[in-house]
Amino acid sequence: MSDSRPHVVIIGAGFAGIAAAQRLANENVRITIIDRQNFHLFQPLLYQVSTSVLATDEIAYPIRSFFRNNDNVELFMAKATGFDPARNIVETNHGDVHYDYLVIASGATTNFFGMANVEKYSYGMKTLQEALHIRNHTLHMFERANKMEDSAEERRKMLTFICVGGGPTGVEEAGALCELIDIQRHEFHNLDFNEVQVILIEATDKVLPMMPEELRNYTVKTLEKKGVKVMLNTQVADCDADGLILKDGTRIPSKTVIWAAGVRAHIIASRLGTECDRGGRVVVNKDLRVPGFDNIFAIGDCACFVPGEGQRPLPTIAPVATQGAQVAGDNIMKLIRGEKTLDVFHYHDKGSMATIGRCEAVCNVGPFKTGFMAWCAWMFIHILRLEGFYTNITVLLKWGWNLFTGVRLGRLITNIDLSDAARREQNEPEKVAIEKAEAANKAAEEAALAAKKAQEAAIAAAAAAAELNKK
């Protein structure tokens, strides 16, 4: 039996997508959420997974659990690949999905600014898998360095951790790494921790650009007190397996480069074919509709909304996403009711905050701007935003335990390859590297020989054909 209710399709289950679905869940509409994952991710706490504070299930929540009491909301687990607006179709890797109204909330991914080697050798932190990769890699670096007794140079590479980007993600990651190192200091008895360093690199002259100057200065001083080397006005030119190359030609040897220098909209947003900014975000009207389409909205990190003439686009932060979702939901219901005048999006900035580690944070809202009380305010706000009572309790207990003891029990390396080949590569890296190079050279020689033989065969065939033509 066909369902005559208007069908709203939402691409993405981030802050914007979930908020839009929640706004419409109790209306007389049918909602389909398209997402590649079956969970909503609380991205502001990814850095705590990457530094062994929290577990994955404490910052991720099943999408279906949000809507267990709303039988008009369905998850279509697939990857959106394109659009056919003329037929009101979203194309996915599991078939087409028809819509009456479309909300594009596909979010953002890491922006490597076209530097292929940076993308290849550094670690982004926008997904749960990336955060786990950083955790495994960081812990593994200590274990490998602990066995590297003969090469101080190689050991220092393994014990140098670089965070690129002075926004909240970079600052929070650098501070959390220092605290993780303090724990390792008590357990790795053979390592010289004078060889360990954390470096924060920022291309501009300031960290946390959304904060006032006094809070930015406080952040730098606090990071330096924790042992972070802060490098401002420092631009990255390239990256390889052995470190980072700066624009002035300086090389910083390191096996760990964490890239938090910027984001760009997920590529699916640009496939609509409308105007996008240089970050790939779809330019939207004041009512959050995409120009040229009456029934397509774009919200969150994939939307470029300029509040007024001469102003900068709104930043890619959760409050912008959730507030935009409410307006988009309201406007969809107005369109369904046949109303012509839609609401205009007005963003209400409620302030910003960032943690610099245990007991340290900065807030540009409220009476407590820095220190322990600002950190408590930061914890309170983030606990409120987490989904599920179980998560709230476990995260609060872990933060409290970490406050009083500094212990991080999640320091588990879970991606070790236990095959014989992997063990040999770990134990005899130089010998294995030579063998791989020799094998690559041999393969190249065989390919060249095969090409030569093919060329000779082609010449012989051409000669034979010429002979036949003569006869």
Alpha carbon distance 323, 330 (integer Å): 11
d(CA 28, CA 214): 50
How far is the CA of 239 from the CAs of 110, 164, 393, in angstroms?
Answer: 16, 12, 41
CA nearest neighbour of 357 among 200, 178, 221: 178
Q: How far is residue 135's CA from residue 179's CA, in Å, rounded to a whole number?
A: 14
Q: How open is the CA angle 236-238-242, to the nearest 5 degrees?
A: 110
Q: Would you say 133 and 126 are in contact if contact means Cβ atoms under 8 Å apart?
A: no
Q: In a 3-state reduction of DSSP, which class is residue 85?
A: helix
Name residue 39's amino acid: F
Long-range contacts formed by 141-147: CB under 8 A, 24+ apart: 141/255, 141/256, 142/184, 142/188, 142/191, 143/413, 144/426, 145/191, 145/195, 146/188, 146/190, 146/191
Residue type (1 letter), 51:
T
Per the annotation, the verdict on 172 as an active-site residue is yes
Residue 195 CA, distance from chain mean position:
29
Among 399, 409, 411, CA closest to 375 = 399
Catalytic residue from among 58, 172, 179, 202: 172
Using an 8 Å Cβ cutoff, are 228 and 175 in contact?
A: yes
Q: Tell me the catalytic residues.
A: 172
